[in-house]
Amino acid sequence: MSQRQNSSPLTHQVTLTVLTLAAFALAILVGFGFYAAFQADHASLERQKMFIADGLKDQIAAVEREQESVSIWDDSVTNAKTGNQEWMAENLSVWMYTYYGHNQVYILDAADHPVHAMREGKVVDTSAFGEDASALLPTIGKLRAMLARPPKADASGQPARMVAEDLISLGGKPAILSVMPLVPNSSRVTQAPGTEYLHVSVEFINDAVVGRIAGKYLLDGARLAPLSQTVGAAAVPLVDSHGVILGYIGWDQERPGLDLLHKMGPALGVALLVAGGVLAFLLRRLRRASFALQSSQDQAQYLAFHDTLTGLPNRALFEDRLRRMLLFAGYDAARVALLYLDLDRFKHVNDTLGHPAGDELVRQTAARLRHTIREVDTVARIGGDEFAIILLDVRDVRSAEDIAERLLQKLCEPFRLIDDQIFVGASIGIALSAGPETDADDLLRKADIALYEAKKNGRGRYQVFAGDMDDLLLRKRKVEAELRKALTGAGGIKLAYQPVYAGEGRRILGAEALIRWGHEVHGALPAAQFIAIAEERGLIGELGKWALTEACRFAAATELPWIAVNISPMQLRDVNFAEEVASILQETGLDPARLQLETTESVLLEHNDAIGSVIAALRKSGIRMVLDDFGTGYSSLSYLRRQAIDKLKIDRSFVRLLDEDPSASAIVKALIDLARALDVEVTAEGVETEEQRVLLLAMGCNQLQGYLFSPPLEPGQFLSLPGLSAGPQELTNARA
């Protein structure tokens, strides 16, 4: 299993989410900080502007107040009207410059002609008024209008103040202009309306004035900015009564928000670093946790779809892949081949070398299979020693067969297991997809049937599924189902008994029990056929037990010297078989010495210790073992020599040839001699003619069985044979 370090999607996702959230939080924090600072700065600027505007108003009011201190005065009225230049300079003009900083003062008569002029603390010629007249006259006119039509007293009864003021531009410099009439402060001096002299005062708004205004509010860097100069946000325009901008008062803007940020900057930086560190730490732990989670998730996923022993895909993953492959293959001409593979001698390895060796064999098999097929093909472990292989892009049956051939060759090579060289071999069933409609289950079933056929036809080979295998299987299934029914007591199964005679043909030595199944639909099925089905379908144990019990019960009720019962090799593989037989003998009351068990040679060839000990146990209890159909298989002399059996039955195929083929009689003679040499009994099966009988007798075989004497008989018929008797009740309920 390949573990992907650090790059699991889950880990990525977790990291990304946390980082995004952190970045988002940081952006909000920083954004909000700047926004708050900006808002604070903005509010502060508005306040600063208000301060400057108020300061300017105060400055104008101050000019008026200062002017008032001299314009409402009896002496001013009289001295102005008498044209006392010295007095006017001392009290109305130079004095204003010295004490209050007014830059220009003009005293005008009732007809607005200048009678006195002062500039920058010096009395100058009255003609100077002419230079400034255009800027001054509109405000002067306003005051004259007020004087001509005095405004009403205000709510508190105070008479309205007679003053006209404005911001003006003199020689390009902004200035505060204030105009007031000279009026007496007592009744000692009287003045007819319309004859008032005017006091015109001008104060330039210069840097000093601006500094005074700003200084009151502790604003730094205050300056006068002329129109031509660009000003920042921190500026208040100087606007005259007509809305004309004359210049600006600018200052260094106070930014409390930004200042705060500046001051907090380093602390924030440190805090961010710490937070970053904590985040990194948490992230690392989170990544580790999510990586662990991902790994265990991957592990679980892997385990769910793979076989732990071999690492191959398991059945679930295999079936899923097969379905997909079939779907894809449906769209092009190429076909999918399914190979079902089963080891031939796996059980043997497991039984003799133990499970660890069996596991090792499976592992090595998996490796060989994987190395033999292409990368695109799939090999999966389906069961104990069963493997399935999906081959893609198979052109025809031949190419699938080639691969099967190669696989078989590979598995024929010896395996090294626990210092032992083991030859195993395998069988393969092949099924090919047919067009887009191929169903995965159907293909699996066909490959399985083909595998079964391959095994039946001798193992170590492959078999391609053929259409008629299906029919055969269906028939077998049907027989199996009916056999099960019959075994549950529905009836139909019986035993027939065929006597075995002594050579002269009159004396009954014993009998062989042969199973019969008279089926209502299929008619009588040959015993060999349904026995084979029972073996295939796992019914043989039950069927065999029934036959054994039945035969023993029958024999126990007769004076028959012995009864022979056929035993399937499969029954002998059951380690409990000897005990089972013993309990049947006990139950039926038959003496073990009266029981013979017939089995074929194949089972003896397995060299299986378990079978060997079962046979030994059976023989030890007094039961005799008979080798049936002797001569048809690979006769194992060593087995005979080890005296594991008590009797040979020469197969009827040899007996039949006795009349026709002289070489056959030589073989039969040899077989009989062999039996005698080994000191085992010998029976000839299928004796049908008198000639055979005579020949066999002459050769020394004196146990004969066959149609010449009697076919297998129903129990009742059998018991009526001359020379036999039985207890009455057993005969009838032999098959209860």
The residues with which 114 forms a beta bridge, in sequence order, are 108
566 binds Mg ion, rule: CB under 5 A: yes
Q: How far is the CB of 599 from ligand C2E (least distance, A)?
A: 8
Give CA 435 to chain center in angstroms.
Answer: 33
Figure out which of the listed residues 54, 68, 470, 688 binds ligand C2E, where binding follows CB under 6 A: 688
- CA-to-CA distance for 686 and 656, rounded, in angstroms? 7
* Dist. CA 220–CA 213, nearest whole Å: 11
**Residue 310 contacts ligand C2E per CB under 6 A:** no
x-or-dash string of contact with ligand C2E, 241-270, rule CB under 6 A: ------------------------------
Give 722's Cβ-side CA count (13 Å radius): 5
Contact pattern from residue 670 through residue 689 relative to Mg ion, giving x for each residue in contact according to CB under 5 A and a dash for the rest: ---------------x----
**Is the Cβ of residue 225 or residue 687 nearer to ligand C2E in the bound state?**
687
703 Rama sector, left if φ>0, alpha if ψ -120 to 50, beta otherwise: beta
| Count of residues of this chain found to bind ligand C2E when the rule CB under 6 A is applied | 23
| Helix orientation angle between 690-699 and 662-677, rounded to the nearest 10 degrees | 40
Which one of ligand C2E, Mg ion, none is in contact with 568 (Cβ closer than 5 to 8 A by kind)?
Answer: ligand C2E
Write out the binding residues for ligand C2E, residues 333-352 only, by CB under 6 A: none
**Binding piece for Mg ion, criterion CB under 5 A, among 182-190, 194-202, 596-604, 669-677:** 596-604
Q: Which is nearer to ligand C2E, 349 or 514 (CB)?
A: 514
Task: Evaluate whether 163 touches 143 at the Cβ level (below 8 Å).
Answer: yes
- Which of the stretches 14-22, 191-199, 414-422, 594-602 binds Mg ion when contact is defined by CB under 5 A? 594-602
Phi then psi dihedrals of residue 599, to 5 deg? -140, 165
In angstroms, the first-to-last Cα distance of the chain is 61
Residue pair 403/391 in contact (Cβ under 8 Å)? The answer is yes
Q: Among residues 377, 598, 601, 681, which is the contact residue for Mg ion, using CB under 5 A?
A: 598
When the beta carbons of 102 and 652 are compared against ligand C2E, the nearer one is 652
Is residue 404 a contact partner of residue 462, using CB atoms and an 8 Å limit? yes
**What are the beta bridge partners of residue 598?**
566, 626
Closest residue to Mg ion, based on beta-carbon distance: 598
**By C-beta, is 168 or 655 nearer to Mg ion?**
655
H/E stretch holding 237 reads: strand 235-239
The one segment of 102-110, 172-180, 552-560, 563-571 that binds ligand C2E by CB under 6 A: 563-571
Candidates 128, 527, 664, 678; binder of ligand C2E (CB under 6 A) is 527
> 585: closest CA among 537, 621, 620?
621
Q: Which residue has the tokens 């159909």?
A: 629
Question: Which member of 584, 706, 726, 734 binds ligand C2E (CB under 6 A)?
Answer: 706
Residues 610-629 that bind ligand C2E (CB under 6 A): 628-629
544, 563, 597, 623: residue in contact with ligand C2E (rule CB under 6 A): 544
Residue span 444-483 as binding mask against ligand C2E, x where in contact by CB under 6 A, dash where not = ----------------------------------------
344 binds, among Mg ion, ligand C2E, none (CB under 5 to 8 A by kind): none
Binding partner at 259 among ligand C2E, Mg ion, none, C-beta below 5 to 8 Å by kind: none
Nearer CB in complex with ligand C2E: 49/545: 545
- The one-letter code for the residue type at 24 is F
Q: What distance lies between CA 676 and its chain's CA centroid?
A: 74
Footprint on residues 587-606 left by ligand C2E (CB under 6 A): 598
Cα 713 to Cα 726: distance, rounded to the nearest angstrom: 15
Where are the alpha helices (H) located in 596-689, listed in sequence order?
A: 601-604, 609-620, 637-641, 652-657, 662-677
For ligand C2E, the closer of residues 411 and 627 by Cβ is 627
547 lines the binding site for ligand C2E (CB under 6 A) = yes
Name the nearest CA neighbour of 164 among 138, 143, 133.
Answer: 143
Stretch that binds ligand C2E, among 313-321, 322-330, 424-432, 684-692 (CB under 6 A): 684-692
**Residue 436: burial class (beta carbons within 10 Å; 0-12, 13-18, 19+):** exposed
The single residue among 450, 628, 699, 705 that binds Mg ion, judged by CB under 5 A, is 628
Bridge-partner residues for 176, per DSSP? Answer: 167, 203
Stretch near ligand C2E under the rule CB under 6 A, chosen from 40-48, 91-99, 327-335, 524-532: 524-532
Q: Please tell me whether residue 601 binds Mg ion under the rule CB under 5 A.
A: no
User: Total number of residues binding Mg ion (CB under 5 A)?
Assistant: 5
- Please state, in angstroms and as integers, the Cα–Cα distance from residue 361 to each residue in 169, 249, 330, 389, 626, following that order: 113, 100, 36, 18, 35
Contacts of 679 (CB under 8 A, 6+ apart): 643
The β-bridge partners of 223 are 250
Task: Out of 712, 715, 718, 734, point to the residue binding ligand C2E (CB under 6 A).
Answer: 712
Count CB-CB contacts under 10 A for residue 383: 11
The set of residues, in sequence order, having a beta carbon less than 8 Å from that of 269 and lying 6+ positions away, is none
Separation CA 624–CA 576 (nearest Å): 18
226 interacts with ligand C2E by CB under 6 A: no
Query: Does 539 help bind ligand C2E (rule: CB under 6 A)?
Result: no
712 binds, among ligand C2E, Mg ion, none (CB under 5 to 8 A by kind): ligand C2E
Q: Which of 257, 165, 251, 176 is nearest to 214 (CA)?
A: 251
Out of 48, 76, 350, 498, the only residue in the binding site for ligand C2E (CB under 6 A) is 498
Q: How far is the CB of 473 from ligand C2E (least distance, A)?
A: 22
Which residues of this protein are in contact with Mg ion, per CB under 5 A? Answer: 566, 598, 628-629, 685
Which residues of this protein are in contact with ligand C2E, per CB under 6 A? Answer: 498, 514-515, 526-528, 531, 544, 547, 566-568, 598, 628-629, 652, 685-688, 706-707, 712
